[in-house]
Structure 1
Amino acid sequence: MHETMVVEEDFFGRMKVKGPYGNTEIIRRFTLVNENGMSVQLITYGAAITSIKVPDKNGTVEDVVLGFDRLEEYQNQTHYIGCTIGRVANRISNGTFRIGNKEYILEKNNGPSHLHGGSHGFNKIVWDSLVEGSSVTFSHHSPSRDQGYPGEVMCYVTYQLTDDNEVLIDYKATSTQTTPLNLTNHSYFNLGGHGSGPVYNHTVSMNADYYTPVDETLIPTGEIADVTGTVFDLRKPTDLASVMNRVPGEGFDHNFCVKGEIGTSRLAAKIFHSESGRSMEVWTTQPGVQLYTGNSLPTDDSLKGKGGAVYKKHGSFCLETQHYPDSVNKPNFPTCIIGPGELYQHTTVFKFAIEE
């Protein structure tokens, strides 16, 4: 069997960035290529996916994730494009949570809420890296009280590209204290190509009978609601054009409760783009997946991406595998708390295919 090739290089030449302790670090880029003409690029800044190139039904290869050409653009962006998110993905209400009798106060960087680990979360970190065979593992030591969270946390994120056109992401972490953890990848996808415009021409299906309704600040109310009879009933393939304008907030930014046993890999979502024939399945061991349709991207031409492409509102979608948002404050949600020495682990798979 052909083994996926991994090429390591300096990212954008010898450009360097200030590390957390004042040292300078070279940003590394890794390119994974399989025998089908598919490739994935990763960088150590934010342990981010910067490119996923996939052939269409005619053999034409397009990059299907948003990204940037320069490191400064990754440093300055506010949309988390492509990055690994931690310590806790999604929102924590009022920027606070309790473990036992102790309250922890976090930064409120999204209105009244704490979002995606804070303004200097894992997306702003230069990760260590190691190539092992056909996979790349990024690692990071997060000190106690990093962004307000308790415990020293050691994290590992491993990426692998298979000859079945699967991007495998395996997350592992341990902590020295009881702490919440909820890691995810925040890639923005467009199966027609990263700069091809609105994703209204994509068809989505979610393997979820329930979702978590939110208030006006996008914090879950605590209810786990049946999707039946609502705009969130995406169990059958649904054109995004037919539902986007009926979702409060001008698009999806909602957590769906993935059917099946938590901890086992099961299908969470499938997206299909008929013009190119590309499809993408998302498989996860996590309890939930956040469908986000780029509602906060600008409506003007101010966000420039790779090759001068313009990224606008509704020009992409994210499928963030996760614990439910604000689960640290919702005792009826599956817990995201781990104890000292306990292994945190979950796996996500982005599987690409061609369909007629």
Structure 2
Amino acid sequence: MPDAPTHPDDGSLTIRREPYATLPDGRVVDRYAFGSEGAVMAEVLTLGARLQALYAPDRDGHRANIVLGGVSVADMLGEAKYFGATVGRYANRIARGELPVEGAVHRLRTQGNGHTLHGGPEGFDARIWDATEVREPSRVGVRFTLHSPDGDQGFPGALTVHVTYLLDRAGSLTLAYEATTDAPTVVNLTNHAYFNLAGEGRGTILDHVLQVDADQYTPVDGELIPYGPHFPVEGTPFDLTEPRLLAERMTADHPQLRLAGGGFDHNWVLGPCEGDGPRPVAVLRHPASGRRLECLTTEPGLQIYTGNLFDGSLTGPGGAPYPAFAGIALETQHFPDSPHRPCCPSTVLRPGEEYRSTTVYRFSVDPG
């Protein structure tokens, strides 16, 4: 879908499905495109229940894809494996692959550094999910379903997971997660989209402005595992309580930035939910285009990763390589390594309970 001026329409919402690719084992990856033809449109894949593209207008009405992605299935199973994907069973890190659950310690599969990241080396991002179209009076989208058997990547309990993408006429993309289990386990799901509000492949996010409603963050060690208590953001580059230019934050001299490769790869501790619905937690703006993204969530944490380690080796759908800071991930989730930290909100799910989580990415345009 090339950039094009938006055009007046009746506000109708559409959805269409088409085969996208065939895996070497013969399984078909489908793509669904849905939304308003005159405003925000999303594309998702059954591979990883993945947000592959999101087209949003700028202040002049010109639409561009504002999420990074791989060009091929090989990319999505390799260097771009997390781009836009639903990650789990446990988003973020579990130290040493050791999972304590109700008195038993389970050995999880680990990545090269000896820790478990985003559910293990063959997490939910690499699975083909079942998909069903959803049509509501004011929203349209796709409901994905996945069954994760007992022992999957070492996690206990058979888990059934749903994630539903719904897009309304106003440009709000809702991600609703649900899960049930037949034995005690942990669940922590998120979406790993990288946003660039200038447009995919159009420079970096250093000219973006970010605000986050959090007065604490989680410091990490050299392997990005949290240590100690949460730290106050005041007086540090992590203070985003007022809108801050990301270039200003990334050039600060701070040991936590150096540990993460010269940028953010940290969890912000969000304020409490006062009701059952998602509350506003962050705003990302691109002043040049006017595009604005507001993030709302029911989750207690926001992991922000600024693509510090991108090195240009991956080329996106627009034909441009992705350098450092080509995109920013705003991952709503529970805290990293929380199974080892009793002070953190619990991620344990038991039989008879239902895991529920909702995140909304609301897109709009600031006037010039």
* TM-score calculated relative to the size of structure 1: 0.94
Q: Which residue of 2 aligns with 1:295?
A: 308
Which ranges of structure 1 fall in alignment gaps of 5 or more residues?
19-23
Answering whether residue 348 of structure 2 is matched by residue 337 of structure 1, we say yes
Which of residues 223, 233, 241 in structure 2 aligns to 1:227?
A: 233
Which of residues 223, 240, 243 in structure 2 aligns to 1:237?
A: 243
Q: Which residue of 1 aligns with 2:3?
A: none
* TM-score calculated relative to the size of structure 2: 0.91
1:81 and 1:203 map into 2 onto residues whose CA distance is 22
Which ranges of structure 2 fall in alignment gaps of 5 or more residues?
1-9
Is contact 1:87–1:182 with CA below 8 Å preserved after alignment?
A: yes
Letter matched to residue 336 of structure 1? T
Deviation at 1:35, TM superposition (A): 5.2
Which of residues 226, 229, 252 in structure 1 aligns to 2:264?
A: 252
2:84 and 2:309 map into 1 onto residues whose CA distance is 15
Answering whether residue 156 of structure 2 is matched by residue 145 of structure 1, we say no
Answering whether residue 95 of structure 2 is matched by residue 89 of structure 1, we say no
Letter matched to residue 362 of structure 2? K
How do residues 1-356 of structure 1 correspond to structure 2 at under 5 angstroms? 2-12=11-21, 15-18=22-25, 24-34=26-36, 36-133=38-135, 134-246=140-252, 247-248=257-258, 249=260, 250-261=262-273, 264-298=277-311, 301-356=312-367
Is contact 1:46–1:83 with CA below 8 Å preserved after alignment?
A: yes
Letter matched to residue 135 of structure 1? G
Is contact 2:217–2:230 with CA below 8 Å preserved after alignment?
A: yes
2:24 and 2:18 map into 1 onto residues whose CA distance is 16
- Shift of the 204–80 alpha-carbon distance from structure 1 to 2, 3 Å rule, reads same
2:191 and 2:271 map into 1 onto residues whose CA distance is 20
Over aligned residues, Cα RMSD in angstroms? Answer: 1.5
- Shift of the 150–156 alpha-carbon distance from structure 1 to 2, 3 Å rule, reads same
- Shift of the 114–16 alpha-carbon distance from structure 1 to 2, 3 Å rule, reads closer
Letter matched to residue 113 of structure 2? G
2:112 and 2:167 map into 1 onto residues whose CA distance is 34
1:3 and 1:177 map into 2 onto residues whose CA distance is 43
Look up the SS of the partner of 1:27 in the other structure.
strand
1:144 and 1:296 map into 2 onto residues whose CA distance is 34
Look up the SS of the partner of 2:71 in the other structure.
coil
Is contact 1:135–1:161 with CA below 8 Å preserved after alignment?
A: yes
Residue identity (%): 37
Is contact 1:17–1:26 with CA below 8 Å preserved after alignment?
A: no
1:137 and 1:337 map into 2 onto residues whose CA distance is 24
2:272 and 2:102 map into 1 onto residues whose CA distance is 30
Is contact 2:339–2:347 with CA below 8 Å preserved after alignment?
A: yes
Letter matched to residue 322 of structure 1? Q
Is contact 1:35–1:163 with CA below 8 Å preserved after alignment?
A: no
